[in-house]
């Protein structure tokens, strides 16, 4: 495998995947892409990507296959089965799962990859749509250091950092922990903003105290601006955060740990899902605190 000429396949061209694939194309990596909705592949095709009809076709001839899809079910669909990527992968190719998925699925997928005599790392990312497009993601990697080094040039093209965290599954676990903390922050921020507005405080002044003080994480700053502007164009879909909170709680339960703050946040996200806000940005959670118009 010649790292300077890695042939890649990218599965999933959603909010994150489209930006990541575009970075690979801009860097000159030969790329095949697959997306369940073919229309989303048009931009990549225009930039020189080969558009495949199935994940298997995308994986044909690839040195590296990357999946970036919504959840366990979507990941299973692109990897397994007669049209899945593993049916078309060549021996010794590196398979990378960058989706936010459960540890159980990561371990099952790693075993399936090994049966195909290929190598595997889990490498989910932190960052949003903007970071994907600008190549400023962070990869959280679980798996062999030697496998990571084979694909590091490709990952570096899409990121500002590549963080090795331990054996297979370590990246997936840290990503779930990261996202559950983010989900709790979003829920508490929505509550805080509702409290500010209902108490009659000057919203801008009160939010300035929060965002410039100890609570003012980059996430809080970004999401508070989106909540106040009611700008819910998805950078990170609300339904995906609900899924991540659920996955994190399930993994914690296996460790005999109840994530009570995650549970409370998930209840609020479920209200938003019931209000059909799932495809909007997670900042739309604030809408669940607004009083209905008479």
Give per-residue pLDDT as tens, 13-30: 999 999 999 999 999 999
Domains in the chain (CATH in brackets) are: 3-167 (3.40.50.720), 173-289 (1.10.1040.10)
Inter-axis angle of helices 170-198 and 260-274, nearest 10: 70
Mean pLDDT of 240-244: 98
> Is 270 designated active site?
no
Q: Which two tokens stand for residue 13?
A: 């061209």
For residues 280 and 236, give the distance between their C-alpha atoms in angstroms, rounded to a whole number.
8
pLDDT for res 5:
76
pLDDT for res 294:
54
Instruction: With cut-offs at 50, 70 and 90, classify the pLDDT of residue 266.
Output: very high
Q: What is the dihedral of CA 199, 204, 208, 210, to 10 degrees?
A: 30
Q: Which residue in the list 150, 160, 175, 205 is annotated as catalytic?
A: 175
pLDDT for res 206:
98
H or E segment and range at residue 20: helix 17-26
Q: Which two tokens stand for residue 208?
A: 């300035």
- Write down the mean pLDDT value for the chain: 96
Mean pLDDT of 133-138: 97
Q: Is the pLDDT of residue 3 over 60?
A: no
Nearest to 282 by CA among 248, 250, 242: 242
pLDDT for res 291:
74
> Which segments within the chain are labelled E, that is strand?
8-11, 31-34, 50-51, 64-67, 94-97, 119-122, 125-126, 137-142, 159-166
> What is the Cα 9 distance to its own chain's centre?
17
């Amino acid at each position: 495998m010649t790292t300077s000429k890695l042939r890649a396949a990218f599965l999933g061209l959603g909010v994150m995947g489209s930006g990541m694939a575009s970075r690979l194309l801009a860097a000159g990596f030969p790329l095949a892409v697959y997306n369940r909705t073919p229309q989303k592949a048009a931009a990549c095709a225009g930039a020189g990507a080969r558009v495949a009809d199935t994940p298997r076709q995308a994986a044909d001839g690839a040195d590296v296959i990357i999946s970036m899809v919504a959840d366990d079910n979507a990941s299973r669909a692109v990897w397994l089965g007669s049209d899945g990527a593993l049916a078309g992968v060549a021996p010794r190719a590196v398979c990378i799962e960058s989706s936010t998925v459960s540890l159980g699925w990561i371990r099952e997928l790693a075993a399936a990859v090994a049966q195909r005599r290929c190598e595997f790392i889990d490498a989910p990312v932190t960052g949003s749509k903007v970071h994907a497009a600008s190549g400023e993601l962070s990869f959280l990697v679980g798996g062999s250091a030697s496998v990571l080094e084979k694909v590091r040039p490709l990952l570096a093209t899409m990121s500002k950092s590549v963080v090795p965290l331990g054996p297979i599954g370590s990246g997936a676990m840290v990503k779930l922990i990261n996202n559950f903390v983010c989900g709790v922050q979003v829920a508490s921020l929505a509550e805080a903003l509702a409290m500010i507005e209902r108490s009659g405080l000057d919203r801008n002044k009160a939010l300035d105290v929060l965002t410039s003080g100890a609570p003012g994480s980059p996430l809080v700053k970004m999401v508070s601006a989106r909540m106040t502007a009611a700008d819910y164009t998805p950078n990170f879909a609300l339904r995906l955060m609900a899924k991540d909170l659920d996955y994190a709680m399930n993994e914690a339960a296996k460790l005999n740990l109840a994530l009570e703050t995650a549970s409370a946040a998930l209840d609020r996200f479920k209200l938003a899902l019931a209000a059909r806000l799932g495809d909007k940005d997670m900042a739309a959670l604030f809408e669940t605190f607004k009083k209905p118009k008479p």
